[in-house]
Structure 1
Amino acid sequence: MMALSDTKLRNLKPAGKAYQEADDGGLFIEVLPGGAKVWRMRYRNGGRGTKQEKVTLGNYPAYSLVDARTWRDDCKALAGRGLSPMALKRGDSIPKDLPPAAKELAQFFIRNWCMKAMAKVKAKEDASREADTVEAFTLRWYAEIVEPANSNPRNIKRILDKDVIPAIGARQITDVTVTDILAITDKIKNRGADQMALQTRNVLKRLFAYAIAREKTQFNPAAAIEAKFIAQARSRDVALPPEEVGKLLRAIYQSSMKRAHKLALHLLILCMVRKSELIEAKWEELDLEKGEWAIPGERMKKDKPHLVSLSRQAVAMFEELKALASDSEWVFPSSHSLKQPIAKSTLNVAVRALAVDVRDFVIHDFRRTASTHLHEAGFNSDWIEKCLAHETKGIRGVYNRAQYAGQRREMLQWWADFVDGQIQNGRGKVIIGPFGKAYAAS
């Protein structure tokens, strides 16, 4: 029989069932199906003719071949004096009537092997528990999922640092309960920030979904809390969740309303403009080649001109609307006269006629919906505010006035793609028809 070597130990591969490779003097290594390699030893306590016992040291390579052989020699010395290494490892007390030399040997064995082995196990357990705390797993989720998928994830980082980690960062992922999530959101709501409480719940929902995917827990405490129990309420506070965005647009395209009105509602979501700014739009404001819509100041709430960067989807919709407008100067001419736009109530009436199970909302809530999801996705707040034509006060507002054109274009394209994904996320596919020139030619 050849003794073990480090090379042979490294090359041992798991099999369908456990198997053993012997070294010498009763020492052997057991290779388990899962790949673990465990040092064990057979010995007879008291010499030939006594019952054979087996004791375990620990795993290779945590314990090297040299460690295992030294341990084997100490076990044999104990067994030769009638002491059981297995009993000492188990924690049995040293017999009081032992000769001093044997007692000293037993104490040496406990100090150098039993206590060190327990310390290694505890250190491994502590490291594992630390890796599974909310704070540690949050750092992993942020690095692996949030940062690569978001051009500016600082809003999510702010939520985590300000409200999540201080509250439950030291807790184990598996120990977090619905009550813990509610305590966080209630504290935020007490600051008067209901929508931030909802965003925090949504961030936690995504975090725990990833924890489930990585087999760190089996329960998502944030998903167990419906959004309406976090920030219920008035129509002016509504921000549709992704699944309701998809449900609403599928209902719009499957309805009998005019094609132009379907596109108008879709554009309100994509462009983040107010309803009056869209329905009173004129073709002279649009440059479809550049993908830009320049709304003059007199049509804006703050009397300041506003430039909308158009996504590919929005450009295609305007191309189609151009064909539907019958040479009117208005993008959405009235059915009664090409010389005036549709009435301000037209789209509201169309929405109220929809047979769709979506919470109460008004068209203006499309802006809040876009803002909420863009913030949740980690986009810069300044970019979002510029898209909403909200005025930033002070010097920062003056500096930012001409900024972020490229970033806003990229962000609105991401948003248009995101909305497309929600439309097709329902059961089966909904045909919304080709946009733009393809539609006009069909």
Structure 2
Amino acid sequence: MLTQVAVQAAKPKDKPYKLSDGNGLHLLIETSGSKLWRFRYQFDRKEKMLSLGSYPDISIAQARTKRDEARAVLATGVDPARKREQDKVTASIAAANTFGVVAAEYIARLGTEGASESTISKNKWLLQDLAASLTRRPIAEVTSAEILLLLQRIEQSGRRDTAHRLRGTLGSVFRYAVRTLRAPLDPTTALKGALLKVEVTHRPAITDERQLGALMLSIDEYDGWPTLRAALLFLALTMVRPGEVRQMCKSEIIFPKALWRIPAERMKMRKPFDVPLSRQALAVIREMWDLTPGNGLLFPSIRSSVKPLSENAMNSALRRMGYDKEEVTAHGFRTSASTILNERRVADPDVIEVALAHQDEDDVRRAYNRAQYLDERTILMQQWADLLDRFRDAARCRAA
């Protein structure tokens, strides 16, 4: 076996020569003075040579370890040289399949599958900005520990909800990587329960019938921009989300059936949704119909007929009426309807849930509900509109 002294004392000669260390390992002394570790072995009845690095970068002990590892591979019936090539290919693929690459693919798939621009934008922010530290990491090498460290930093900054959302989105990317054979597992599954619970803050809403009547009276008497008053009234009557009203187009109204068909791209559940229109809702539509050109927006911005109301327009109008953000928001009309309709038992809870476009997790039941509850929802929407009239009339009497 070679010693440190013998290796250091080896000098170059006119021709390359070898110093044997045993079990196939030798040190090749080049005429240039380079000292190269080599492992000679036989595979498939052929003599082969495997390079193990140069001395002194690779010490005697390290060279022997590399030799022993190669012999162990050989004992399994695998050519060490071929395994090294395969390992290089695997490492190259892993380097190409970084978290950033797979995350970009995942985001592109969201667009292909019809996700809204806001959903895609949120995913980009989560995966490309908040998870930027993972971008260049081979996705198969990302560990639960480094994800936890990332999430805890966000959590400790006071953004618990964001940390939970990021964990869920990261999980979606890793599961996509598993399905496309680029990661062995989803490391976020081990983190279930690792984050502090989110403190749920419900959107402010008026659920008292007398107070809701006063609000409806305030909307009726609103002296600001008429389109904004009409949009708030229509929002209250239809129980939809504010964004769906803001972007509502005249072409979506089916007058013969008294329906408003909201296209899939605007719905949270990514499915088209039919809203039965009460007499009062149809009156609002007819009031606004001739104020905007063509089949465009029914409730356009004050600045342009081709741009929708801004996100804050409705809430700003509520503030002008004297309601602060702790009392009610535009989104709160949905809570008002849900609470009052359920408390009064106006309809089956399932019908109310469908009217609010809440997505049932069961695909079959969801399809059944959409198909079977249209008649019930038509009755419900008229009952709700009539209730709002009663609440407002009672408030007007009290104010007289």
Which category describes the TM-score, using the shorter chain as reference length?
0.3 to 0.5
TM-score (norm 2): 0.47
